[in-house]
C-alpha cells in the first residue's frame, strides 16, 4: 500500500494505491466549522442531492446510469468531527481493469453530475426532491425517541449545555421548518465555494491519471485551508454533577452518565483511554459488565464509551427504574476501583490484544483504510505500525492517571413508566 498526498490550491488529494481490492472508491469531504444552525441544512443536502440531477431528472434514470457503470454505488453523509462538520460524498465502482477502460472517466463524470449539476429550477432545488428530503428528515426527527439508546445519549449531551458537545447531530425541527428549497440550494452553493476540501481515492490506480481526472471533474474554486485541531477543549471541568430525568412509555429505563475529560495528553487520548474504557465497560470482561450485570443482574445491558474529539465519556445502562440507586452506587464503586488501581494486569493485556486485533481489521476494507488516512489528515493520528508499538507502552499507572482525569458531570435517566409493556 502506497500513500500519496497532492496539495492543490483548492483541495488536498489523497491517493492510496493498493492491489487488495477490485474496486476503486472516491470520497470527497467538504469541511467547515460546526455551526448549530447549519446542521439541519447539511443533513438535508444528503437526501436532496441524490434524488435526481440535471441530466438524470428522475431517480429511475439515476439508477439506470449506475447500472450502466457496472453497478456503481454512491451515498452521502453529514457528520461532526469535533469542532468541524463534514459533508461527505462517496462512490465505489469496479476497477475498469475488470470492465471497460472508459469506466474510470465515466465514473468521475457521474460524480461531477451528482455534485455540480443538481436538479434545480429558478435557483432552488426542485420541489419533488426538496419534499422528499424534508419528509425523510421530519419523520426521523419526530420518531427519535423510539430509539431509546441513541435518544438518551443525545439528551444527556444536550443537558451538558456546552457548545459543540450539546449539539444534536440529527438537526432540529425548528430549523427545518424555517428552511425552503431556495435557501437550501443557496447554502449548497456556499458549501461548494467556501468549505475546506479533501479528496480520498483508494484502489489499484495511477496517481497521475487520478490527479488529472480530479482536476477535470471536481473543479473546486474554494481556497480555505486549515490545520486547526478538531479536538474540542472544555473551558472548565468540575466535579459538580447535574441530574435530569424524562419519562417514556416503555418498561425499560435508560441511564446515561456523562463525563468530561480534564486536559488529556495526545497519548492519553489515543491510547490510554482505549485501555481504560475496555477495562471499565467496553467488553464482557469489563468491571461494569461483570459486577452490575452478571453479579447483581441489575441491567439488561451496560457499557462505556469515549468520544475524545469532544472530551466526553459515557456509561449507558438499560435498567428498571426501581434499580436506579443501586445501579448508580455500583457504577461509582467501579469507577473508584479503577481510580485506585484495583484491576488486574490480565485485563490490561486483554485490552491491548483486542486493540491490536482491531488494527488488523482496519486493513480489511477500503472504507476502513480511508478512515485511517482521514484520521491521519484531520486528527494527526498515527499509522498502524506506530499504533501497534505505542499501545504496548501503556502502563497501569497511566490508566490510573487517566481515570482520575475523568469527571462525572451529568446523570440522565430516561424513565420507563409502562410496567406492563411486553419486552
Indicate if 169 and 77 belong to the same structural domain.
yes
Indicate if 167 and 264 belong to the same structural domain.
no
Residue after which a domain boundary falls, among 182, 217, 252: 217
pTM of the model: 0.93
Indicate if 157 and 17 belong to the same structural domain.
yes
Helix orientation angle between 181-194 and 39-48, rounded to the nearest 10 degrees: 100
Decide if 422 is inside a domain. no
Distance between CA atoms of residues 44 and 76, nearest Å: 11
Query: What range does the domain containing 30 cover?
Result: 2-217
The total number of structural domains that make up the chain = 2
Residues 6+ away with beta carbon under 8 Å from 315: 255, 256, 257, 259, 280, 281, 288, 302, 303, 304, 331
Q: pLDDT tens for residues 179-192?
A: 999 999 999 999 99
Indicate if 283 and 186 belong to the same structural domain.
no
Contact between 243 and 249 under an 8 Å Cβ cutoff? The reply is no
Q: pLDDT band at 64, cuts 50/70/90? A: very high
What average pLDDT does the segment 100-120 reach?
A: 97
Q: Strand 312-319 to strand 299-307: parallel, antiparallel, or no bridges (unpaired)?
A: antiparallel
Decide if 103 is inside a domain. yes
What average pLDDT does the segment 323-332 reach?
A: 97
Q: pLDDT band at 422, cuts 50/70/90? A: very low
Indicate if 16 and 153 belong to the same structural domain.
yes
CATH of residue 272? 3.30.830.10
Q: pLDDT tens for residues 290-317?
A: 999 999 999 999 999 999 999 999 999 9
Indicate if 339 and 396 belong to the same structural domain.
yes
pLDDT of residue 419: 62
Decide if 259 is inside a domain. yes
What average pLDDT does the segment 213-241 reach?
A: 90
Decide if 293 is inside a domain. yes
Indicate if 8 and 116 belong to the same structural domain.
yes
Decide if 411 is inside a domain. yes
Indicate if 348 and 306 belong to the same structural domain.
yes
Indicate if 206 and 355 belong to the same structural domain.
no
Residue 109 confidence (pLDDT) above 50: yes
Percent share of the chain, pLDDT over 90: 93
Decide if 234 is inside a domain. no
Distance between CA atoms of residues 113 and 61, nearest Å: 13
Residue 268 confidence (pLDDT) above 90: yes
Determine which of 206-220, 298-312, 406-420 has the lowest per-residue pLDDT on average. Answer: 406-420
Distance between CA atoms of residues 330 and 325, nearest Å: 9
Amino acid at each position: 500500500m502506497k500513500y500519496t498526498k497532492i496539495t492543490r490550491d483548492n483541495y488536498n488529494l489523497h491517493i492510496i494505491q493498493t492491489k487488495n481490492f477490485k474496486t476503486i472508491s472516491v470520497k470527497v469531504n467538504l469541511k467547515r466549522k460546526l455551526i448549530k444552525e447549519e446542521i439541519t441544512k447539511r443533513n438535508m443536502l444528503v437526501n436532496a442531492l441524490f434524488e435526481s440531477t440535471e441530466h438524470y431528472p428522475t431517480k429511475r434514470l439515476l439508477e439506470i446510469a449506475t447500472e450502466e457503470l457496472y453497478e456503481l454505488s454512491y451515498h452521502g453523509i453529514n457528520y461532526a468531527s469535533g469542532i468541524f462538520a463534514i459533508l461527505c460524498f462517496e462512490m465505489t465502482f469496479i476497477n475498469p481493469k475488470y470492465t471497460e477502460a472508459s469506466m474510470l472517466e465515466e465514473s468521475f463524470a457521474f460524480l461531477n453530475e451528482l455534485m455540480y449539476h443538481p436538479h434545480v429550477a429558478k435557483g432552488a432545488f426542485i420541489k419533488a426532491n426538496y419534499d422528499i428530503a424534508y419528509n425523510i428528515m421530519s419523520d426521523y426527527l419526530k420518531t427519535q425517541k423510539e430509539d431509546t439508546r441513541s435518544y438518551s445519549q443525545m439528551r444527556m449531551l444536550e443537558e451538558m449545555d456546552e457548545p459543540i458537545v450539546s449539539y444534536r447531530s440529527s438537526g432540529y425541527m425548528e430549523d427545518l421548518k424555517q428552511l425552503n428549497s431556495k435557501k437550501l440550494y443557496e447554502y449548497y452553493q456556499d458549501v461548494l465555494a467556501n468549505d475546506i476540501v479533501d479528496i480520498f481515492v483508494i484502489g489499484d490506480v495511477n496517481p497521475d491519471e487520478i490527479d488529472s481526472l480530479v482536476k477535470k471533474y471536481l473543479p473546486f474554486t474554494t481556497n480555505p485551508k486549515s490545520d486547526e485541531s478538531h479536538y474540542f477543549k472544555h473551558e472548565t471541568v468540575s466535579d459538580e454533577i447535574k441530574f435530569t430525568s424524562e419519562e417514556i412509555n416503555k418498561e425499560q429505563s435508560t441511564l446515561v452518565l456523562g463525563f468530561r475529560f480534564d486536559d488529556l495528553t495526545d497519548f492519553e487520548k489515543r491510547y490510554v483511554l482505549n485501555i481504560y474504557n475496555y477495562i471499565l465497560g467496553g467488553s464482557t470482561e469489563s468491571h461494569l459488565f461483570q459486577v452490575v450485570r452478571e453479579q447483581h443482574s441489575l441491567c439488561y445491558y451496560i457499557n462505556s464509551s469515549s468520544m475524545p474529539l469532544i472530551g466526553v465519556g459515557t456509561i449507558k445502562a438499560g435498567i428498571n427504574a426501581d434499580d436506579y440507586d443501586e445501579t448508580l452506587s455500583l457504577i461509582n464503586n467501579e469507577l473508584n476501583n479503577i481510580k485506585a488501581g484495583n484491576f488486574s494486569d490480565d485485563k490490561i493485556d486483554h485490552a491491548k490484544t483486542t486493540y491490536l486485533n482491531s488494527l488488523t481489521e482496519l486493513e480489511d476494507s477500503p472504507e476502513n483504510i480511508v478512515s485511517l488516512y482521514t484520521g491521519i489528515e484531520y486528527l494527526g493520528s498515527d499509522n498502524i505500525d506506530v499504533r501497534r508499538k505505542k499501545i504496548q507502552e501503556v502502563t497501569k499507572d497511566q490508566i490510573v492517571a487517566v481515570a482520575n482525569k475523568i469527571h462525572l458531570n451529568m446523570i440522565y435517566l430516561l424513565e420507563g413508566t409502562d410496567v406492563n409493556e411486553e419486552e
